[in-house]
Amino acid sequence: MLIGAHVSTAGGLAKAVERAIERECDALQIFNQSPRQWKPTNYSDADFAAFREARDQTRIDGVLIHAVYLVNCASEDAELRAKSLTSLKHSLRVGDAIGADAVVLHAGSALQGDVGAAIARAGEVIKAALDETDRCPLHLENTAGTGGTLGRSFSELAALLEAGGGGNRLGVCLDSCHLLASGYDVRDAASVRATVDAFEEEVGLDRLGSLHVNDSQTALGSNRDRHAPLGEGEIGEAGCAAFLSEPAFDGLPTVFEGPGMSGKNVEAGDIRRMRELRDQGRAART
């Protein structure tokens, strides 16, 4: 498992690598631009080269980009879908340029109307984004289910993958907080295993490409996306240890988004805590 954190790109792309190393990470996740604005950051070839050079000199072996929060591939508004497509293509092109493992995407929301129609609309945008870019994979993130967000269930994720063309560049990022909030129990090893088995049956483990490990402030099935420091929320220490040590997750980029133990940004102590929990979970399995 490539354990890491979401880090800032303030000061340049290469600064993200520096911050990840300061936090003792093996993986990192960044936003390729401000996550709450449409305006893209116009990086140069020199910026991309600096990132790749910095990464090549470190232990970082997993890189994810998180797409802009404004993206809603499922919107009934054609103009918003067009903006979403443009933004998503930009994220994928930055991913190509820095050698990212994937762009992670919240596919969109069906605030009103038919969910099937919303999935079809999202699939059209996702397929177009992949068709119009080159190499970087796209991972659809499961959601907590707040406000009609798509991907709250494995069946919805499977439908989104199919609607998006189902090609080998299309995969899934599973978030532990979102799993619990949407009704999938991950509070102990047996529950994590049952959830993995359900994912394998409905989606396929070959589609799982990355992980977000976050604890949850809110209870099982709450449909609320509220992160907590690892081991201090409803998933708890045992659940986080089980998730981090699940054998099916070996080798995957695994990003903690926070908050950290300080209640704010993720620091080196939080990454060490992740490894301690992983080792604790492994010991409990033997």
pLDDT interval class at 227 (50, 70, 90): very high
pLDDT of residue 148: 87
Beta-strand relationship, 215-216 and 227-228: antiparallel
pLDDT interval class at 247 (50, 70, 90): very high
End-to-end CA distance of the chain: 18
Q: Per-residue pLDDT averaged across 240-265, rounded?
A: 93
% helix / strand / coil in the chain, to the nearest 5? 45, 15, 40
Q: Catalytic residue at 212?
A: yes
Determine the Cα–Cα distance for residues 122 and 162; give it in Å rounded to an integer. Answer: 11
Give counts: helices (H), strands (E), the chain: 9, 10
Q: Percentage of the chain with pLDDT > 90?
A: 93
Which member of 53, 59, 69, 134 is catalytic?
Answer: 69
Q: Per-residue pLDDT averaged across 171-178, rounded?
A: 98
Q: Catalytic residue at 36?
A: yes
pLDDT of residue 110: 84
Which member of 175, 215, 234, 270 is catalytic?
Answer: 175
> Does the reported pTM lie above 0.85?
yes
Which member of 212, 234, 246, 273 is catalytic?
Answer: 212
Question: What is the residue whose two structure tokens read 């994220």?
Answer: 91
pLDDT interval class at 263 (50, 70, 90): confident
pLDDT of residue 123: 98
Which member of 24, 101, 141, 270 is catalytic?
Answer: 141
pLDDT of residue 183: 97
pLDDT of residue 264: 77
Determine the Cα–Cα distance for residues 3 and 27; give it in Å rounded to an integer. Answer: 6
Q: Catalytic residue at 139?
A: no
What are the extents of the domains in the chain?
Answer: 2-285
Determine the Cα–Cα distance for residues 249 and 48; give it in Å rounded to an integer. Answer: 29
Q: Catalytic residue at 227?
A: yes
Q: Catalytic residue at 96?
A: no
Please give the sequence-ordered ranges of beta strands (E in DSSP) within the chain, or none if there are none: 2-6, 27-31, 62-66, 102-105, 138-141, 170-175, 208-212, 215-216, 227-228, 253-256
Average pLDDT, the chain: 96
Q: What is the DSSP string of 18-87?
A: HHHHHTT-SEEEEESS-TT-SPPP---HHHHHHHHHHHHTSS--EEEEEPPTT--TT-S-HHHHHHHHHH
Residue pLDDT, tens place only, 20-72: 999 999 999 999 999 999 999 999 999 999 999 999 999 999 999 999 999 99
Q: Catalytic residue at 6?
A: no
Question: What is the residue whose two structure tokens read 């070839």?
Answer: 45
Which member of 257, 267, 275, 282 is catalytic?
Answer: 257
**Which CATH architecture is the domain 2-285 placed in?**
Alpha-Beta Barrel (3.20)
* Cis amide prior to 35 (ω within 30 degrees): no
Question: What is the residue whose two structure tokens read 């003792």?
Answer: 24
Determine the Cα–Cα distance for residues 126 and 128; give it in Å rounded to an integer. Answer: 5
Q: Which residues fall within 8 angstroms of residue 255, CB to CB, at 6 or more apart? A: 4, 5, 6, 27, 28, 29, 64, 210, 211, 212, 213
Q: Per-residue pLDDT averaged across 205-220, rounded?
A: 98
Determine the Cα–Cα distance for residues 233 and 152; give it in Å rounded to an integer. Answer: 20
Residue pLDDT, tens place only, 85-110: 999 999 999 999 999 999 999 999 98
pLDDT of residue 58: 96
Q: Catalytic residue at 90?
A: no
Helix, strand, or coil here: 137? coil
Residue pLDDT, tens place only, 109-165: 987 779 999 999 999 999 999 999 999 999 999 999 988 899 999 999 999 999 999
